[in-house]
Structure 1
């Protein structure tokens, strides 16, 4: 039986293995908008961080409606994290998160007041753990030949 700690471990692994996440939010016009974000390190999947620019339409929309979904995909599987976004003017956090790739996508430096931290407080994470490409291909073929449901890995929803 899969425990809550096992589920959290699975979600954490998938999220850490991803390099890019897709942040979905509600625009000021009410449309769903998705944008790629560079994955930053985190201690617990219930609190994740991104870097962004204060002047972006994304930040303006999140200040009006902070509900978000963040999707992660890696060879380890897929995670859909639902939660709330918080715009933070925390210079120390921006400096902690800043790396070489940050400068490629953002103007200025970590000291630039226009570069801010975006904290996501997750409430739930839906996940699918991949059994690996070869195993998945074998299971799919087996399912086609035998007409049985293929075993494509563990999945579930975990409260964060």
Structure 2
């Protein structure tokens, strides 16, 4: 494996470790009026492969915002480990029933009481283009 591939593999492993530890992130979109708009989101996946996936309501402001401007930022941290990460990328909404089933977590039930088959449920996929990581 060359140095670049090692760096990508190591970076993906670092993101995977932080996702597993953090479980919740802030997903920031650009509102229709140009202001930044952040909200907490559950990180339902346990492996990172270059994209992060979220469950959302198809009619939500989050989905409307990313359809207009797909640039987003995802931030999360694990304070007890003194580790933080900021990821930026391009988002799209894409409902895939099989993936919704794979990503389903019981913690999502308050928002989607009918489970991964809930009416209006969609998925947000974020293709990560940049990552920043801090420790102290």
Distance 2:107 2:43 in 1: 11
1:22 aligns with 2:34: no
Question: In the alignment, which residue of structure 2 is the partner of 1:134?
Answer: none
Q: What are the within-5 Å matches in structure 2 for residues 7-156 of structure 1? A: 7-44=11-48, 46-74=50-78, 75-76=80-81, 77-129=83-135, 152=136
Gaps of 5+ in 1: 130-151, 153-160
1:66 to 1:38, Cα distance in 2 relative to 1, 3 A = same
Q: Secondary structure at the match of 1:79?
A: strand
The TM-score with structure 2 as length reference comes to: 0.84
C-alpha RMSD of the superposition: 1.7
- Assess if the C-alpha contact under 8 Å between 2:15 and 2:48 holds in 1: no
Select between 12-21 and 51-60 the one with higher mean Cα deviation.
Answer: 12-21
Task: Return 5+ residue gaps in structure 2 as ranges.
Answer: 1-5
Question: Which structure has the larger Rg?
Answer: 1
Moved over 3 A (4+): 5-8
- Distance in 1, Cα, partners of 2:131 & 2:49: 9
Deviations 1:87-108 (A, max 9, x none): 0121111122112111112353
TM-score by length of 1: 0.73
